[in-house]
A and B are shown apart, each in its own frame.
Chain A
């Protein structure tokens, strides 16, 4: 069953004293299956936030079709099914976290708000700061409160705009855990983010959006198998060994088209350097075996970029060049 169905959505903004039209969405279409995590990825101004705002009823579409669990997007019935976390959410500074959640519960016409708010505070780990004014919250706390308010009313669909932006690694981990647990609870989630490796960890499918159009919609498994082709090894070796390693790889192993990159932070005074070798998966596998045999210290072995970073850089880069 489709939780969200969007077809041929169009939106043009008109702004300025002398009206200027800017096309934000142009024939945008995608579907999100119930219980899955779907991520909208794209460069700034691609139309991710506009799409989300149309789904939650903050912006009206010009043309097209958008439904949420068979309810017209933007209608009160559809809003009952949605929890929304905007990008950089702002709360009333003078309210505490708990007071804001109670206020949100009132907007959902919830009668047993104290009980529901208490459960959410516990679920999101807000116990230690829910009695503090929101103005004193860190970015991570703000995002967690934002997620908590989005969960009021037990919505089936969650729309999170940049939930990980500006949050430190510990905070990001916490939010990723929350998102995974929400999926386990059966929620459908639509995300947008620029932190692609994090998205890759949690999403089920991806919609790549460019100039208001979905240019690719794919499951994350398919993308990883297609794009995770370049790998890297980081070695620790002596400066004098760099040339030897290079020669052995090129002459003995007969591997060409390999990138060697010495870390720029290595001090002139020390003899040890970090050497990054980037190449195709099969070549890097051979180099890895060789390094182990020769007793070099392998610091890291991983894909060069995450699959999402690669598809993002390649697809958007190609489109930018053709335009």
Chain B
């Protein structure tokens, strides 16, 4: 465990030194503050607007950070050749990947916590009631980001930073939009059986990110189903573990010429 902790702590240090991280946080805060000025335009829907804004920004900034950091977190070690000094030590490649993933997710969690504090302040300033649903939605965003992080680290294990970023972005977008795209005009029902099979397989492989979007809880009267919470946590963990296992398989075959 000491080895994983060391890799994770070192990864955290690398990531928290990235200036781009703070740039993304500043943009998030600016967008958050912007939502306050929409008050005269929203005709009593302020709660929905503020909550929607807060969660969307937290999610998209988290995704952006996951993509930027995820694609560089392993590639930087290759590029700077620091990986020679690490992997020549008695640490398995599995532990290296797990440490990297933990460091990456913890750094995203830190940023998300900072953003959540800022958005709580914005909610309080705009005199919108702060309910427990805010924190449930926050938890679901973290589950989504856990999946995004694992996808990002998977692509970074074999692709260049740019192609890794493109692949991660496309997978995340597909994960967000595929279920809603299939529901438009009952598109799915009109397809042939073979196409349905292929789409079912693809939708099974892609992350069901839209299913984990719980923003609606915060401004509607729908109560939280704890079975669904448990299922969502299990799904996110299993999906991330599957991605990490694939990453480990790819990374274990990697050679450092």
Contact = CB atoms under 8 A, between A and B. Distances in A.
Interface of A: 13, 50, 53, 56-60, 76-77, 79-80, 82, 84, 86, 88-92, 94-95, 103-104, 106-109, 149, 152-153
B30 to A, nearest CB: 28
Contact of A109 (B2, B85, B87): B2
A204 B87 CA distance: 29
Contact of A107 (B3, B14, B17, B257): B3
A82 to B, nearest CB: 7
Given A80-B90, A153-B90, A91 B85 contact: yes
Contacts of B255: 58-60
Nearest to A56: B88
A90 B81 CA distance: 6
A26 B3 CA distance: 36
Nearest to A89: B85
Nearest to A82: B88
Given A92-B14, A103-B10, A58 B84 contact: yes
A99 to B, nearest CB: 9
B86 interface: yes
Interface of B: 2-3, 5-7, 10, 13-14, 17, 80-82, 84-92, 255-257
Nearest to B76: A92
B230 to A, nearest CB: 35
Contact of A92 (B82, B84, B89, B256): B82
Given A94-B13, A106-B5, A106-B6, A84 B84 contact: yes
Given A103-B10, A109-B2, A57 B17 contact: no
A91 B86 CA distance: 10
Contacts of A60: 255
Q: Do most interface residues of chain A lie in helix, strand or loop, or is the interface mixed?
A: loop
A77 B92 CA distance: 11
Contacts of B88: 56-58, 79, 82, 84, 86
Contact of A76 (B90, B256, B257): B90
B257 A13 contact: yes
A127 to B, nearest CB: 22
Given A59-B255, A59-B257, A79-B88, A91 B3 contact: no
Nearest to A109: B2
B80 to A, nearest CB: 5
Nearest to B4: A106
Q: Which of A86, A95, A104, A149 has the most CB of B within 10 A?
A: A86
Contacts of B5: 106
Contacts of B87: 57-58
A108 B90 contact: yes
A91 B87 CA distance: 13
Contact of A90 (B6, B17, B80): B80
Given A53-B257, A86-B85, 18 more contacts: A13-B257, A58-B256, A76-B90, A79-B90, A80-B90, A86-B88, A89-B85, A90-B84, A92-B13, A94-B17, A104-B85, A106-B6, A107-B6, A107-B7, A107-B90, A108-B89, A109-B2, A149-B85
Contacts of B86: 107
B91 A107 contact: yes
A57 B255 CA distance: 9
